[in-house]
Amino acid sequence: MLDIDVHKQRGAFAARVSFTSSTPGITALFGRSGSGKSTTIHMIAGLLRPDAGHIRIDGTVLFDSARGIDVPAEERGIGYVFQDARLFPHLSVRDNLRYGMRRARGRAPTLQFAEVVELLGLQPLLARRPAGLSGGERQRVAIGRALLAQPRLLLLDEPLAAIDVARRGELLPYLEMLRDRFSLPMVYVSHQFEEVLRLAGDMVVLEQGAVAGHGDVVTMSHFPVLRDIIGAESLGAVVEGRIEEFEGASDLALIRVGSGALRVESAGLRPGQRVRVQLLARDLILATASPSGLSVRNSLAGRITALEPDGARAWLVSTDVGGVTLMVRVTDEARGALDLAVGQSAWVLVKAVSLRGHVFSGSPRVAAPPA
Amino acid sequence: MLLNPDEWQALRLSLEVALWSLIWNLPVAIAVAWVLVRRRFPGRTLLDAFVHLPLVLPPVLTGYLLLVLFGARGPIGGWLLRTFGIHLIFTTAGTVLAVAVMTFPLLVRAIRLTLEGVDAGLEEAARTLGAGPLDRFFSIALPLMLPGILAGAVTAFAAGLGEFGAVITFVSNIPGVTRTLPLALYTALQTPNGDAIAVRLALTSFTLGLAGLVLSEWLARTLRNQLGRGNLNA
């Protein structure tokens, strides 16, 4: 378990960050640029000295200002994948990978060279110099290099940021594989909510150098501060479930959500798989009577639990559909016409095609959220 | 074109002096360049200026300052003489010192320029991979400074062959001991009918200097290319 409570003043910027995260699994450190994410992981890695506080991992004290403990970065055993990869230009990929391996300081080699090379697809790159690699290849080497140093915690600082937007998708499966394959705790810094959705179990939201909220991603998707950061267009409840069955030849897969079921396009999915689905508030439709004669494939019955103004002329309607809360954005006019009120019965309609690109497979919650 | 024994002696002495001054200078120059680029401390600007002083002072003045400091009665020279019995004035060792002091800034400048181009983040990355300070220096910083070190070394060596003012002021002009190439050239010019000697020495100096500069450029380019791109045939 990572337990951090640190304070750092840098010029006019003050960071006061405190959270604990369970191991293993990915904890996302999420926030706008300048919110203190990088400062925080620099302190965890030991590259920046906090003014006060403590940092512990699984009972090992890495920093404690009160007790005068400050373990140097090179002795912390914390892997760091930098935004810009930072491969050593004078060494081949093979020697880059071995750099940390040779300096693992007696930590048991649980990750073998051959295994890491194979999993990250590095075999064809081994003899090459970093300068000839693409952005994605560099990050894969950087990840492999960090893993082979046998870290007890892996920090990833926006590893996709330096990669062309079009090619970011190529690295994500490797990160998912890493998460599912190894019981290595990871802290993943990002300001892209989609990456968090795909990868993280827990998320810590940072705002202006302080923790604004912390919890599992499903819970946090309803968190007010998150709405401000990701913007109204990206706002939506996140639900998790298992692919139960494929519906005949219709190419639709069924996921149980609350007391109902959600049909999503089945391409790329397989039965039994755990998935996470983001239901954007702007894509959902609310009905006050059981709908019929519609093309919409998904209709979830529930009850309105909250009505909040959302911007100038819109409302955000939270609806409980059997233990799962969904958020629907309606116009001010629609709210008036339907006479929406808390406690009222309602049906949430979801077009299956609107979920294209919002179904994330894998098992982000390999690690149970903290009890 | 053949040199006579005296001229050979001057050439050999020049090469010897330039080489020894380079050997003494290199570790210090690397350390100073590293400190100037990677460390922030009070007095950094002053150290920087001090290092470059021999570039801007008249060489004769540098030679005179050496005389004051390293003379038999000088604070450092006196101590060296009493403690180790080392004579610097009028000796080859003193010539090495004078050339070393004069070429030091060239070396530091070249190394520094390369090091400034080396991302300090690489050393940070090495830290997170378990490398301590010395380990980081030798495995990351030093190899990446290599182009600058080699280019600087060649330039400093070539310049060391030709150092005149500080040498003649500090250790005088003694054949076989302190009379390097430029001093021999100067002596030839002062001698009646020394023109032929002067021309031979001038051509020798010219060739050495040019070769040094070309070699330095070539080394720097080759190493930069190696670090820059391509496969390793390993």
The answer to whether A82 touches B125, Cβ cutoff 8 Å, is: yes
The identity of residue B190, as a single letter, is Q
Q: What is the pLDDT along chain A (371 residues), one digit of tens a residue?
A: 889 999 999 888 899 999 998 767 899 999 988 899 999 999 999 999 999 999 999 889 999 999 999 999 999 999 999 999 999 999 999 999 999 988 887 777 778 899 999 989 999 999 999 988 998 999 999 999 999 999 999 999 999 888 888 788 888 888 888 888 888 899 999 988 888 988 998 999 999 999 999 998 888 888 878 888 888 888 889 998 888 877 666 678 888 888 888 888 887 788 888 888 999 999 999 999 888 888 887 889 999 999 988 877 899 999 999 889 999 999 999 998 989 999 999 999 998 888 888 888 765 544 333 33
**Chain B residues whose beta carbon lies within 8 Å of the beta carbon of residue A129:** 227, 229-232
Residue keyed to tokens 């002053």: B46
Gap between the Cα atoms of A214 and A24, Å rounded: 16
Write out pLDDT tens, residues B119-160: 899 999 999 999 999 999 999 999 999 888 988 999 899 899
Query: Which residues have C-beta within 8 Å of that of residue B84, sequence separation ≥ 6?
Result: none
Q: Which residue of A has its CA nearest to B136?
A: A74
**Nearest CA among A156, A146, A63 for reference residue A107:** A146
Q: Which residue of A has its CA nearest to B134?
A: A74
Query: Which residues have C-beta within 8 Å of that of residue A259, sequence separation ≥ 6?
Result: A300, A301, A302, A321, A322, A323
Whether ipTM exceeds 0.85:
no
Helix (H, G, I), strand (E, B) or coil at B183: helix
A80, B230: Cβ pair inside 8 Å?
no
Closest residue to A88, CB basis, from B127, B135, B140: B140
The four Cα atoms B178, B183, B185, B191 give a dihedral, to 10 degrees, of -90
Q: Please return the burial class of B5, using the count of CB atoms within 10 Å of its CB with bins 0-12, 13-18 and 19+.
A: exposed
Helix (H, G, I), strand (E, B) or coil at B184: helix
Distance from CA of B124 to the nearest CA of A (A): 7
B130, A84: Cβ pair inside 8 Å?
no
pTM equals 0.84
B227, A131: Cβ pair inside 8 Å?
yes
On whether any CB of chain B is under 8 Å from the CB of A82, the answer is yes
Give Cα separations from B93 to A152, B26, B54 (angstroms): 55, 17, 19
Q: Which residue of A has its CA nearest to B127?
A: A74
B135, A103: Cβ pair inside 8 Å?
yes
Q: What is the mean pLDDT of chain B?
A: 89
A90, B231: Cβ pair inside 8 Å?
no
Sheet holding A325-331, edge to edge: A285-287, A345-350, A298-309, A314-320, A325-331
The tokens for A12 are: 């006019």
Distance from CA of A211 to the nearest CA of B (A): 25
**Chain A residues whose beta carbon lies within 8 Å of the beta carbon of residue B140:** 88
Q: Is residue B46 part of a domain?
A: no
Distance from CA of B216 to the nearest CA of A (A): 20
- Best residue in B129, B137, B145, B226 to probe A by mutation, most A CBs within 10 Å? B129
Half-sphere exposure of residue B212, counting CA atoms within 13 Å on the CB side?
Answer: 20
**Chain B residues whose beta carbon lies within 8 Å of the beta carbon of residue A128:** 231-232
Residue ranges and CATH numbers for the domains of chain A are 2-229 (3.40.50.300), 236-360 (2.40.50.100)
On whether any CB of chain B is under 8 Å from the CB of A125, the answer is no
**Nearest CA among A95, A99, A278 for reference residue A193:** A278
The 3 state secondary structure assigned to chain A is: CEEEEEEEEECCEEEEEEEEECCCEEEEEECCCCCCHHHHHHHHHCCCCCCEEEEEECCEEEEECCCCEECCHHHHCEEEECCCCCCCCCCCHHHHHHHHHCCCCCCCCCCCHHHHHHHCCCHHHCCECHHHCCHHHHHHHHHHHHHHCCCCEEEEECCCCCCCHHHHHHHHHHHHHHHHHCCCEEEEEECCHHHHHHHCCEEEEEECCEEEEEEEHHHHCCCHHHHHHHCHHHCEEEEEEEEEEEECCCCEEEEEECCEEEEEECCCCCCCCEEEEEEEHHHCEEECCCCCCCCCCEEEEEEEEEEEECCCCEEEEEEECCCCEEEEEEEHHHHHHHCCCCCCEEEEEECHHHHCCCEECCCCCCCCCCC
B229, A103: Cβ pair inside 8 Å?
no
Q: Please return the burial class of B179, using the count of CB atoms within 10 Å of its CB with bins 0-12, 13-18 and 19+.
A: buried
On whether any CB of chain A is under 8 Å from the CB of B98, the answer is no
Closest residue to B130, CB basis, from A89, A104, A127: A104
The identity of residue A22, as a single letter, is S
The 3 state secondary structure assigned to B93-121 is: HHHHHHHHHHHHHHHHHHHHHHHHCCCHH
**Chain A residues whose beta carbon lies within 8 Å of the beta carbon of residue B135:** 103
Distance from CA of A161 to the nearest CA of B (A): 17
User: What is the domain count for chain B?
Assistant: 1
Q: Is the peptide bond before A24 cis (omega within 30 degrees of 0)?
A: yes
Q: Is residue B150 part of a domain?
A: yes
Write out pLDDT tens, residues A256-292: 888 888 888 887 788 888 888 999 999 999 999 888 8
Q: Is residue B21 part of a domain?
A: yes
**Chain B residues whose beta carbon lies within 8 Å of the beta carbon of residue A111:** none
Which sign, positive or negative, has the C-alpha torsion B5, B11, B14, B20? negative
Closest residue to B231, CB basis, from A89, A129, A145: A129
Write out pLDDT tens, residues A283-321: 999 999 888 888 887 889 999 999 988 877 899 999 999
CATH number where B197 lies:
1.10.3720.10
On whether any CB of chain B is under 8 Å from the CB of A73, the answer is yes
Residues 156-185, chain A: which have Cβ within 8 Å of B?
none
Residue keyed to tokens 């280019």: B151
On whether any CB of chain B is under 8 Å from the CB of A100, the answer is yes
The answer to whether A318 touches A299, Cβ cutoff 8 Å, is: no
Q: Is residue B44 part of a domain?
A: no
On whether any CB of chain A is under 8 Å from the CB of B229, the answer is yes
Q: Is residue B230 part of a domain?
A: no
A82, B126: Cβ pair inside 8 Å?
no
**Nearest CA among A128, A63, A61 for reference residue A91:** A128
Q: Is residue B146 part of a domain?
A: yes
Q: Is residue B22 part of a domain?
A: yes
A86, B119: Cβ pair inside 8 Å?
yes
Q: Is residue B45 part of a domain?
A: no
**Chain A residues whose beta carbon lies within 8 Å of the beta carbon of residue B227:** 89-90, 129, 131
Buried b (16+ CB within 10 A) or exposed e, A132-141: ebebbbbbbb
Residues 27-56, chain A: which have Cβ within 8 Å of B?
45-47
The count of residues in chain A is: 371
Question: Residue B150 is part of which domain span?
Answer: 5-38+58-225
